[in-house]
Amino acid sequence: MSAVSVLDGCTVVTMDSEQHEYAVGHVVIDGGRIRSVAPGPYVPTGDDVDIVDGTGCVLTPGLVNTHHHLYQWATRGYAVDATLFEWLTALYPVWGNINERVVGQAASAGIGHLALSGCTTVMDHHYVFPRGGGDVLGAEIEAAGDIGVRFFATRGSMDLGRSDGGLPPDHVVESIDEILHASAAAIDLHHDASADSMVRVGVAPCSPFSVTTDLLREAATLARDRGVRLHTHLAETLDEDDFCRERFGQAPIDYMESIGWLGPDVWFAHGIHFDDKAIRTLARTGTGVAHCPSSNARLGAGVCRTRDLLDAGAPIGLGVDGAASNEATSLLEEARHALLFARALGGPTALGVRQALEAATIGGARLLGWEDEIGSIEPGKQADVCLWRMDTLAHAGIADPVAGLVLGTPPPLELALVAGRPVVRGGHLTRADEAALAAGAVEASRQVRAPVLAG
């Protein structure tokens, strides 16, 4: 096989800064990077190249997920009609049963499913580390490597147990020293800041109601010392707002600002209950929001003010969130839901189809600090690319293929490349056996459920 390949004859949607699109175009990939992007069919130069016929397809950047909890693949379908706090209270005991094997199986299935929906960069926020559970973070990173996606792992944490006024039960929390030591070790072992990196690591205490102020401060110091990013859940529910006002005398955003948790190296999951002042604060500090519309709707938490965030200039990406609060976990579906919810809330101009796709690609890359390498189709960038079939019954004949992607049902994924290497081809994973991943998910789900049922 030649080192140079050409995706030819497809519609090309670049998501570059000028949003170039070519009704018929081609992309040349060389050594895992994009060499050129141009309108019209490829004109052979006599070089040895592999040509992929993209006729009937639309080519986009690979999708970038910015918030997830992969271990939850083993706990889908619980507390299906509950609020966030009820849902968490029901699930914490089940999550307390996870271990390295369970997380490896859940992550493999969850990542495989995401890859099949066009996600080439998977972020994970893992914050449950039961005693004796083994190297759960390592298990996720290994799963991502096996499937072939790019991976942004975060070492999450909880140190505010129920006996100290927090929400999680005491047996799933760790001490600050344990958390900081493990976070530093995860950065040392796995974080790769290089241009060709396949794994990066961030620091991510779970939420204001499950971690102490001391941990948030120390985590920020550690992350900034090491030059890695910070992430947590914020402004997801009114219960959280009440908790912060009662315990800290401040709204969640003011609390975070008071402890140095705003800045261009920080992004928050959800960001629903922000007032106008909070939105201006996010924009002024360059703090990002991972909008997770399906999960927010599933838990009845509310709708993120995407239009206002964009107008203010705050960075926005999309997240599927954990599969326990979004059993579908399809990033293209998040783009669709982001658009529909924004318009339901703010009228027909609240979010455009290209803005929704932008949030799912280059917007997400910005939140992860990875925008120089991924998120758009531009010469020199990593060849993380999706080729979607638009010539099947669901989309054939549609006037605007971007509308087909965002407003239509997710199209069949003909090809997904990560650093130029196929991860999905013809709608199937190239490097993993989907039946084996499903069997692993069954085993992992049984494993965590069994002790609860026995009890």
Query: Is 333 one of the binding residues for Zn ion (CB under 5 A)?
Result: no
- Within 10 angstroms of residue 227's Cβ, the number of other Cβ atoms is 11
Q: How far is the CB of 51 from Zn ion (least distance, A)?
A: 42
Q: By rule CB under 5 A, what string of x and - marks binding of each residue 265-284 to Zn ion? A: ----x---------------
Q: How far is the CB of 270 from Zn ion (least distance, A)?
A: 7
Contacts of 45 (CB under 8 A, 6+ apart): none
Residue 379 is inside which H or E element, if any? none
Nearer to Zn ion, 57 or 84 (CB): 84
Q: How far is the CB of 359 from Zn ion (least distance, A)?
A: 17
- Contact stretch for Zn ion (CB under 5 A) within 98-106, 214-222, 251-259, 261-269: 261-269
Cβ distance 113 to 451 under 8 Å?
no
Query: Is 124 one of the binding residues for Zn ion (CB under 5 A)?
Result: no
From the list 21, 321, 334, 358, which residue makes contact with Zn ion (rule: CB under 5 A)?
321
**SS3 helix, strand, coil % of the chain, rounded to 5?**
40, 20, 40
Q: How far is the CB of 265 from Zn ion (least distance, A)?
A: 19
- Contact stretch for Zn ion (CB under 5 A) within 7-15, 275-283, 321-329, 333-341: 321-329
| Residue 81 backbone dihedrals phi, psi, to 5 degrees | -125, 40
Rounded to 10°, the helix 176-190/213-226 angle is 20
Q: Which of residues 53-82 bind Zn ion (CB under 5 A)?
A: none
Cβ distance 215 to 158 under 8 Å?
no
Residue 167 tokens read as 């929400």
Strand, helix or coil for residue 51: strand
Distance CA 382, CA 32 (A): 6
Nearer to Zn ion, 159 or 321 (CB): 321
Q: How far is the CB of 129 from Zn ion (least distance, A)?
A: 16
Residue whose Cβ sits closest to Zn ion: 321
Could you give the residue ranges of the DSSP H alpha helices within 148-209?
A: 176-190
- Contact stretch for Zn ion (CB under 5 A) within 5-13, 271-279, 317-325, 370-378: 317-325
Query: Is 236 one of the binding residues for Zn ion (CB under 5 A)?
Result: no
Q: Which of residues 157-216 bind Zn ion (CB under 5 A)?
A: none
Query: Is 240 one of the binding residues for Zn ion (CB under 5 A)?
Result: no
Distances (CA, A) of 108 to 11, 122, 440: 31, 12, 8
Nearer to Zn ion, 297 or 407 (CB): 297
Query: Is 140 one of the binding residues for Zn ion (CB under 5 A)?
Result: no
Nearer to Zn ion, 205 or 411 (CB): 205
Distance CA 357, CA 120 (A): 14
Q: How far is the CB of 158 from Zn ion (least distance, A)?
A: 13
Q: How far is the CB of 269 from Zn ion (least distance, A)?
A: 5
Q: Which of residues 39-58 bind Zn ion (CB under 5 A)?
A: none
Could you give the residue ranges of the DSSP H alpha helices within 351-400?
A: 353-358, 364-367
Q: How far is the CB of 289 from Zn ion (least distance, A)?
A: 13
Residue 389 tokens read as 């079939």
Strand, helix or coil for residue 50: strand
Distance CA 12, CA 40 (A): 10
Residues that bind Zn ion (CB under 5 A): 269, 321
